[in-house]
Each structure stands twice: as structure tokens, then as C-alpha cells.
Amino acid sequence: MAYYNSLLYFCIFFFIFNFNTVITEGIGHAPAVIVFGDSLVDVGNNNHLEFSILKVNYPHNGVDYPNRKATGRYSNGKNAADFFAENLGLATAPPYLSIKSASNKVKVLLDQGGINFASGGAGIFNETLSKFFKQSISLNEQIANFRTVHGELMQQLGTVQAQTYLAKSVFLIVIGSNDILDKFQLVDSILGKEPAGDHQFINSLMVILKSKLKTIYNLGARKFAMVGLGLIGCCPKLRSDNPKGECNERANYWSVQYNKAVKSLLQELKEELTDIHYSLINTYDIMVDFLQQPAHYGFSEVKSACCGGGKFRAQIPCLPIAEYCKNRRDHIFWDLYHPTEAAAKIIMNEFFLGTEKYVYPANVKQLLEI
């Protein structure tokens, strides 16, 4: 009997020790990455949207992914979500819709080090790119999906340990590009003029984004990794729309305005919620350097997409019938809008270890050590 009691105590101790190890990893380590956002970090959620045309689970996407598999990433290989997780020593978090029906989503979260809620085409506004029928999962819906997981986490771990787990995790948020494109590119192509109330539009985005970030905070998040907008006006699609093949400076201007507003918003949140911590990466300036010093980063083609057709390979999407380049490492852009695996890796490496030139107020490695 004493033997069985000793064995029971050992098993209980072993379970508690290992359970707490998951929750309280050493300083500088995050137990999980929770991802919200758009196509830059979608790892397959859109594959599960029955009527969406915003899917990329077909060749030539994934040509450089293990086994040349088209996973639903808008990339020739891995994307920003993959490299962000790798830099944290974690596996890539699975797409939420792939585990939505799982009987124990919390086990998936704990075992795989996160969940990815991102959806290609998503925006801050619910209606972004989904005006007529559902094309993507809006940020609002992504948070609702996280709320479901959050409730199960609280039930299974208990409030204290669940809160500790979430407070140590990093919440990666990549959103806003589609709102800008939807407003300033699509409206402009229809109306042929500057949309009214542009500054009010940015302010409206910030009001909603702030509300969503506070909701995520109230669900346990304390460490945010925010990705600013890139050089939207220089993506191949907008170049191809320009008769001179130049960048769309109006789109770039609004990318800058958005980034300034996000920086101010995060500063405001820090004043209101003193236990919140964040890292914001200036993707825009990194991409400016890509274009101005391409050889320094290993690039030789900065204008054209690798996969597509027509002018700048951006007038026909990256479909199975399209051509794709052999020298993918030389390209900044994979398709009409998205970076190659090589470009995404450089940006995420800067996010993790970069200096104040690109990240504010700390890089992700420093964020982990708080």
C-alpha cells in the first residue's frame, strides 16, 4: 500500500511540475504565440471558408515549402507567422479553423505553442473585402474565436494559471493593409477620385483597433507584437496600375499615416494599461531599404512579382497557369501583394533582434524578457 501511495504522490508531483514548467518557462521564453491578422500571417484558415475566393491552397504557392505543399500561405514558402514562431523557439501555430471541431482545443494550444486566427483578406473593419459575401474572417470574428478558446483554457487550467500562461504568451497582430487597399485602391478605381474624409478614415480605424486591442487585453494578453504597414504603394499590383510603373505615392502616404496613428495608439494604451508591453516594427522603413539597397539584402528584383502574369507579373494572379521565377531568393515580392519567404524572414529577424531604427520601443527578444 505504501508503494502505491508513493507512486501516486510521485505521479501527482510529476504532473504538477511539468504543468508548471509549461506555464512558467524561464525568463525570455514565451509558452505560445497567438496570431491575429491578414494574409501576411494566414497559415491556412481561408482553406476552410467554403465560398471564399481568397484561397491560395494551390500551386505555385508553397513551391519552396516542405514537400512543395500549398498550405494556404500567400508565399512561395514560409511566411511571417512561421519565422516569428521560429525566432521564439516554437512550432508554427495551427490555423484555428483546422482545430475548431477538436474536442480539446486547449491541448492543441499547449502542445503546439499557440493558435493562429489570421485570415487572408481580413481587415479592421468587418466589411473590408467582404461587402457582398463572406470572403475572410474579420478581426472581430478572430477575437470571437479566441474568446471561445479562452473560455476553455480558463475551465481546464483554472483562472490563475490560465492568466499566467496568457500573460507570458506573445500576441502577434498583423492587420490594416486590406483596409487601406480597400478604401484607397478599389474606391479610386471605381470613382476615379480621392475619397473624402481620409483622415477621418484613419481615425475611425484607430478607434476600432484600440477597442479590439483592449478586448484582447481583457482576455489575458499582456505582450503585443504589432507589425506596421509596409510599402503598400510599391507592391507589384499598384505599380502595374501606374502607366509609368512607379510606386503609388498616395497609397504609401496613407501607409505612413496609419503607422503613425498605430504608434500613438500603442503609447496611449500603455498609459491607460500600465501592465501592457509591446513591440512595434516599422516594416515601411525596412522595405524602403530593400528598394534602395537591394544587394545588401540579397535581392536583385524589387519591382516585379515572382509569380503571376502581365506587367510586373501583377496583372494576372499567381494561379496554376501563371509563370513563376526560378530565382525566388532574388525577389522581394512573391505575388501581387505579398513578400517572398526570403523577404518575410529578414523582416521577422529584424523584429526579433533589430535596433530602434526599425523597432519601437523594444524588439521582440527584449519584449520576452520583460
Q: What pLDDT digit, counting tens, does each position of 233-272 carry? A: 999 999 999 999 999 999 999 999 999 999 999 999 999 9
Which among 42, 82, 182, 335 is annotated as catalytic? 335
Average pLDDT over residues 160-186: 92
Instruction: Please report where in the chains the cell 494551390 appears, as a residue.
Output: 58
Distances (CA, A) of 261 to 8, 40, 223, 254: 56, 20, 19, 10
State yes or no: is 338 an active-site residue.
yes
Pairing outcome for strands 301-305 and 33-37: unpaired
pLDDT at 280: 99
- Answer yes or no: is pLDDT of 5 > 70: no
Q: Is 296 a catalytic residue?
A: no
**Residue among 81, 76, 101, 99 nearest 91 (CA):** 81
249's enclosing H/E stretch is helix 249-272
Query: What's the rounded Cα separation, in Å, for the pair 172 and 278?
Result: 10
Please say if 119 is a catalytic residue.
Answer: no
Per-residue pLDDT at 2 exceeds 50? no
| Architecture of the 21-368 domain | 3-Layer(aba) Sandwich (3.40)
The rounded percent of the chain whose pLDDT value lies above 70 is 87
- Identify the pLDDT of residue 199: 82
Q: What is the pLDDT of residues 290-314, one digit of tens each?
A: 999 999 999 999 999 999 999 999 9
Answer with the residue of higher pLDDT: 132 or 70: 70
Nearest to 255 by CA among 195, 187, 332, 178: 178
> What per-residue confidence (pLDDT) applies to 185?
60
Residue 215 has pLDDT above 60, yes or no: yes
- Please tell me the pTM assigned to this model: 0.91
Of the candidates 60, 277, 331, 338, the residue annotated as catalytic is 338
Amino acid occupying residue 295:
A
Helical residues (DSSP H) of 137-176, grouped into ranges:
139-157, 159-168
Q: What is the mean pLDDT of the chain?
A: 91
Query: What is the C-alpha separation between 135 and 38, in angstroms, rounded?
Result: 12
- Span 181-187, mean pLDDT? 70
Contact predicate 284/267, CB 8 Å: no
Contact 317, 264 (CB under 8 A): no
User: 307, exposed or middle or buried, with CB in 10 Å at 0-12, 13-18, 19+?
Assistant: buried
Domain layout of the chain by residue ranges: 21-368
Q: Residue 127 — very low, low, confident or very high, per pLDDT cuts 50/70/90?
A: confident
CA 216 – CA 172 distance, rounded (Å):
11
Q: Please pick, among 38, 39, 177, 255, the residue that the annotation labels catalytic.
A: 39
Q: How many CB atoms lie within 10 A of CB 29?
A: 13
* Predicted confidence (pLDDT) at residue 352 exceeds the cutoff of 70: yes
